[in-house]
Amino acid sequence: MDFNDTPQEAEFRKKVRSFLEANAEKRSTLAAKPKGESGSSISSAGAPETVKGEDAAKLALQNAKEWQRKKADAGFAAILWPKEFGGYGGTPIEQVIYAQEEHDYFVHSGYFEIGIGMLGPTMMAWGKDEDKKRFLPKMITGEEIWCQLFSEPSAGSDLAGIRMKAEKDGDEWVLNGQKVWTSGAHFADYGMIVARSDPTALKHKGLTYFYVDMKTPGIEAKPIKQISGSANFNEVFFNDVRIPDSQRIGAEGDGWKVSLTTLMNERLAVGDPPGLDFDQIFEASKEIEVEDGLAVKNSEVRQKMADWYIQSRGLQYTKYRSMTALSKGQTPGPELSISKLVTASKMQDVSSYALDLMDMSGMVHQDQNPILKNLFQNGYFFSAAMRIAGGTDEVLRNIIAERVLGLPQDERSDKKLPFNELPSGKN
């Protein structure tokens, strides 16, 4: 592994830092401000999942669009995209570098990641030329926001198990069914969706991929109120939704292939911050009082923090391995599954332990919370979801077992039967 930037990477990092210093405010600066002045300086402030209240959500979305426009004007909104679509024409390692540097600044982020990181590349690979020209530039500038309509009540980690119906009617398709856990569906302009077009085909064969205007009659998005108070996820219902065949992406029955393009682009998120980590619990331990004084001086607390420090360094060097692969033009391997598995469980462990240390004050969730301004409360609420999103712990362990350890795959009868013959809970 090579932990150092190449001369080209160092120059790019310098360019990014110059842009951010001129257009955004550092988190450390915000941390020094009076309580309640600018919100959390350490958590992912400005992300959709941290916003509560309708008025606050509208303002956050407006601020996010303004920031996205600045990034687009500077060329940093879509670093991996070709220049012909308004992108930077950069490399995966440059995307990672930008993510690393932006994490040190307070910016409104998260509204455009699904579109630019996953759905835009899918359209570039499978979409029609006229669709690319129409939609891709507005993805970059933030004028139009996209959501990903994949998961269903009976199909999450097993995406090929979806039951959403897509029935051909002349030159149109009729969509019926339900999607769930759809981030941003209530404010998205467009979405990409995979549906079952042929129930008599094998599980992975009878799927077709489309894009939809979220204002199409028959589409209803219902935000799901989360325990944190925010409502970023949605149930989305499709009732006789008619769309033209021109909104199909890829060939009929190729939905699984197209979906894999979307999912594989998630791998490039290796530069994203890991969430709650050793640094946050260490800083909090200097403020939290336990029975024998400050938590940082307690031997049991220090032992726990030592364990998290070791995990954090292990994750750091695992990501360096991925970054080295990207720098050489290679595709990151299954080590990213290891990072996701450890990061999510560590986030849950750190936040839960911190709330226990805070005793009754750990139950308080308010803007003036003196202990890192609700960081651990928000982390605790969100950490369970993190162990499901982007691949459950069980799925990730299977990937590690098969692709890292070389263990044989489980026997799966569902790969050999037509979808409509597969046993279900109703049988």
Give the pLDDT score at 34: 36
Assess if residue 415 is contained within a domain.
no
Whole-angstrom distance, CA of residue 356 vs CA of residue 362: 7
Residues in the chain: 427
Q: What is the pLDDT of residue 286?
A: 92
- Shared domain for 65 and 109, answered yes or no, is yes
Q: Which of 241, 263, 285 is the last residue of a domain?
A: 263
Same domain flag for 22 and 127: yes
Residue 354 lies in domain:
274-404
The CATH number covering residue 188 comes to 2.40.110.10
Q: Per the domain annotation, does 169 fall within a domain? A: yes
For residues 18 and 136, membership in a common domain is answered with yes
Same domain for 243 and 366, yes or no, is: no
- What is the rounded distance in angstroms from the CA atom of residue 164 to the CA atom of residue 218? 14
Examine the domain organization and report whether 155 and 247 are in the same domain: yes
Residue 381 domain-assigned (yes or no): yes
The residue to which tokens 């995966």 are assigned: 92
CA pair distance 166, 58, nearest whole angstrom: 33
**Active-site option among 266, 283, 335, 402:** 266
**What letter would DSSP give residue 395?**
H
Structure tokens, 122: 């899918």
Name the domain boundary from 209, 232, 263: 263
Name the nearest CA neighbour of 45 among 27, 20, 65, 24: 27
Whether 306 is in a domain gets the answer yes
Supply the DSSP string of 79-141, one letter for each residue: TTS-GGGT-----HHHHHHHHHHHTTEE---SSSHHIIIIIHHHHHHHS-HHHHHHHHHHHHH
Domains in the chain, number? 3
What pLDDT does 271 receive?
Answer: 45
Is 420 domain-assigned?
Answer: no
What pLDDT, on the 0 to 100 scale, is given for residue 186? 94
- Among 126, 141, 156, which residue terminates a domain? 141
Q: Is residue 138 within 8 Å of 123, Cβ to Cβ?
A: no
The domain that contains 20 carries what CATH number?
1.10.540.10
- Mean pLDDT split into 10-residue runs, the chain, 427 residues: 80 96 77 36 50 77 93 93 88 85 84 91 94 95 95 84 95 97 94 96 94 98 83 93 98 94 67 68 90 92 94 84 69 73 89 90 69 79 79 84 86 76 66
Do 237 and 299 reside in the same domain of the chain? no
pLDDT score of 139: 95
The one-letter code for the residue type at 260 is L
Active site residue 54: no
Paired with 148 in beta bridges are 192
pLDDT of residue 47: 61
